[in-house]
Structure 1
Amino acid sequence: MFLTPTQPDVISVSTLNRMARDLLEAGLPAVWIGGEISNLTLAASGHAYFSLKDSSAQIRCVMFRQRLAAVGLRLAEGMQVELKGTVTLYEARGDYQINVATLRAAGLGRLFEAFERLKARLAAEGLFDETKKRPIPAHPRAIGIVTSPAAAALRDVVSTLKRRAPAIPVILYPTPVQGEGSAQKIADAIRVAGQRAEVDVLIVCRGGGSIEDLWAFNEEVVARAIATCPIPVVSGVGHETDFTICDFVADLRAPTPTGAAERVSPSREQMLSQVDLARRRLERALSRLMTDKTQQLDYLSRRLAHPGQKLALQAERLAATRRRLALLAEARLAGARRSLSVAEARLVRQRPRPSDTARELDRLGHSLRRAMLERLNRRRLALAQYEATLVALNPEAVLSRGYAIVEKADGSAAKSPGELRQGERVTLRLAEGQTQALIDHPDGAQQTLPF
């Protein structure tokens, strides 16, 4: 019996491919695989698509741009490689493929692993930090080269420098660039160049070769010598596709030794062109300046007069100035005289008269004494009124007329019989002393005195 589309056991192609991909990625770990590259396609995006095959089978592979750039290896048809990646499935087409993480030339796994380990460690220490890269001088006074005297790279560099900048001296720091102990000798040559400080820029170079041939430039001793060198260093090791540790540490990487020479030297033709351009600009500027100065000279020549005329004109101006100065001096003198007369009259009016002042002082003294006596009398009268009022309001005066004040036990004065209780002890305050009394109400009733 066939399943109908409505039954729950039916799945889509996308679901099947996704399940297969999950099984592949979960069931197979990342492995190293060796084989030959075929059907290579380098996409415009920078990704690489190829097949990895052996004598009896093949598998599709994809390596994305960032990972391809990190290995620094140019892929080619028929190249024998070793790659590490994850086995997966491209769902859109159902293609079984390998997602490549890293790749190396076949047979060089040990060297590539050592290269990657050192590269990672030095990068972690900051030796590749772009912020530490020093600028290459545009017009160096002298150029240093660290390479072998027998290297073809030296001839290429020297011929390029001779063609581009023949006036700049070149100093060679000879060293073997291949073989046993060459890495230490390269590092020593770099240190010697830094100690002598006789060049403005240093080229470390050699021609192309296999990874074994270039391995001296992948040694840590060379990398640290470049990092500590006080002179800017340009690396020109191998061909454009070759990458070494030296390239990452140097202040600038050139694709070839010839490229390194071009990077450190100004172009003679370009400089001559710039000089010619500057000469033409200078000629135009001088021509404009001469034209302007000629016109200015013509203008000034028309304004030029005979010295006698200038002297006569200056004499007239001097006489007119003298007359204006005399008139101004007279006007200022007259004004000063008028101001002096006004000040003198004002001073006369303000001059003090002792007799008038004495009479005024006597008058003011009499007025002050009268005012003080009147105010004192008013104060005395008011005081007498206040005294009479106090005497009238004094409780002692009331008591002297035979009245008494009834004080309760708490010291307050009783104001009505209702405030007193039967048998309560009270104090009677009289004019000449005080006495005690008990409250007695006949039949317990309050008594009201008739008045």
Structure 2
Amino acid sequence: MNAEILTVSELNRAARQLLEQHFPLLWVSGEISNLTRAASGHLYFSLKDDQAQVRCVMFRSRAQLLPWRLENGQQVEAQTLVTLYEARGEFQLNVEALRRAGLGRLYERFLQLRDKLGREGLLDAARKRPLPRYPCRVGIVTSAQAAALSDVLAAFARRAKHVELIVYPTLVQGTDAPASLVAALAKAYERAECDLLLLVRGGGSLEDLWAFNDEAVARQIAAAPMPIIAGIGHETDTTIADLVADQRAATPTAAAELASAGWHAAAKELATLATTLQRTLRTALEGRMQAVDRLALRLIHPAQRLAAGRQRLESLEHRLHAAIERRLAQQTRLGPLEHRLRRAIHDRLARCQHSLSRCRGALVGLSPLATLERGYSIVRQVDGTIVRDASRLAAGERIELQFARGKACGHIETITPAGDL
């Protein structure tokens, strides 16, 4: 037979896949034992009952979400994935979530009531009222001995100490707590002395907070004539009271901060405006002070003004005398210079006239007109060329003669070369 031979790895992988496919995500109850906290943050432990146990692992990403510290001996309900650790071939459960044993039934009751009130519209956002921005009197429904009350009082003292606070004491835990909560809320409604109510309680387990999941308490909250802020438990806790209230706060302190938000913002804005006003007034005052200083510098006593005027007049008089003296001295120096200048100009002019006369005579002697006056004439060919050599002319050629006064035209009869003269 050619039977398939599997390696150990293949066998373990097939077994793991078979387990994970066959078993859906399910809840398993048991007691915690052999608990080990690894440095990586993973939790390793066993779930056991009277007859068996199974190894479990809860990885860090899930373990850090636990709202309480896991210890050996605790009875829990674990939401698990059935699998096999391939490396060791060990059957184990991968734990996705943990809750204390018995909380599953409470949670189912929570979901049933939530769905019921939701169908009636008590959880609708449309029915929730806006919180008053500046409440003058705030009611606090909580235990008089609770730390939540101290947190709320401290928050108001820090953010809006002028707001009047009225405490309506009530039980917040135990079998009698729902009736006590209903009575405290009824008293607050009847007295109608508050603009806003805070329903607060510190953190605890689901059983500790169960009074706030009571139907009678939820309906009493829904019937409130004024807005209600619910600040119950820690940030991760959610109760029916939180869902029915007009506003949910993560903690009692957060509820007080929501209630005082308007006053706190107004105080911050007022402080900002006060700072701006002080800065503006200081700037304006400093500007006016500078203006006064400048004007003060311009305020001079009349006697001082007269003294300054006299001093200026004396200075101008001195400058005037000095200018007159400089002018007279200049005129004294300029007299001889003027006489010398006139004589130099006269001599220069005479020399220029004499030179001009000599040049005129030279030009007259060299002028062609003067030569013509002595009986000479200028012979030109038809194209205007002056004839200096008779050999350049031809018999019968037309010529032009220029005299000192007038011109004449003629023709060449005969030509005598220069050598025959």
Q: TM-score w.r.t. structure 2 length?
A: 0.52
Q: Is the 8 A contact 1:104 1:112 kept in 2?
A: no
RMSD of aligned alpha carbons: 4.8
Distance 1:93 1:258, change over 3 A: farther
Q: TM-score w.r.t. structure 1 length?
A: 0.49
Name which of 102, 106, 126 aligns with 1:111.
106
* AA at the equivalent of 1:283: Q
Deviation, 1:157, is: 2.9
* AA at the equivalent of 1:76: L
* AA at the equivalent of 2:32: E
Superimposed CA distance per residue, residues 194-215 of structure 1 (whole angstroms, 9 cap, x where no aligned partner): 5655433321123455544432
Distance 1:187 1:101, change over 3 A: farther
Distance 1:63 1:132, change over 3 A: farther
% identical equivalent positions: 41
Superimposed CA distance per residue, residues 361-385 of structure 1 (whole angstroms, 9 cap, x where no aligned partner): xxxxxxxxxxxxxxxxxxxxxxxxx
Q: Aligned to 2:199, what secondary structure does the other structure show?
A: strand
Q: Which runs of no fewer than 5 residues in structure 2 stay unpaired?
A: 293-421
Q: Is the 8 A contact 1:145 1:205 kept in 2?
A: yes
Are 2:181 and 1:186 aligned?
yes
Name which of 210, 214, 226 aligns with 1:215.
210
In structure 2, the partner of 1:234 is 229
In structure 2, the partner of 1:283 is 278
Q: Is the 8 A contact 1:68 1:102 kept in 2?
A: no
Distance 1:41 1:165, change over 3 A: farther
In structure 1, the partner of 2:31 is 35
In structure 1, the partner of 2:70 is 76
Superimposed CA distance per residue, residues 227-254 of structure 1 (whole angstroms, 9 cap, x where no aligned partner): 4435332223345565433234431223
Matches within 5 A, 1:287-366: 287-288=282-283
Are 2:248 and 1:252 aligned?
yes
Distance 1:43 1:288, change over 3 A: farther
Q: How many residues align?
A: 289
In structure 2, the partner of 1:165 is 160
Q: Is the 8 A contact 1:40 1:76 kept in 2?
A: no
Are 2:171 and 1:204 aligned?
no
- The CA distance in 2 between the partners of 1:131 and 1:138, in whole Å, is 19
Q: Is the 8 A contact 2:218 2:241 kept in 1?
A: yes
Superimposed CA distance per residue, residues 265-322 of structure 1 (whole angstroms, 9 cap, x where no aligned partner): 359998766544322211222345567899999xxxxxxxxxxxxxxxxxxxxxxxxx
Name which of 50, 56, 60 aligns with 2:56.
60
- The CA distance in 2 between the partners of 1:292 and 1:155, in whole Å, is 50
Distance 1:268 1:87, change over 3 A: same
In structure 2, the partner of 1:264 is 259
- The CA distance in 2 between the partners of 1:42 and 1:245, in whole Å, is 38
Deviation, 1:219, is: 0.9
- The CA distance in 1 between the partners of 2:119 and 2:88, in whole Å, is 40
- The CA distance in 2 between the partners of 1:92 and 1:65, in whole Å, is 22
- The CA distance in 2 between the partners of 1:249 and 1:40, in whole Å, is 40
In structure 2, the partner of 1:426 is none
Deviation, 1:50, is: 4.6
Q: Is the 8 A contact 1:35 1:53 kept in 2?
A: yes
* AA at the equivalent of 2:219: R
Name which of 123, 142, 145 aligns with 1:147.
142
* AA at the equivalent of 2:249: R
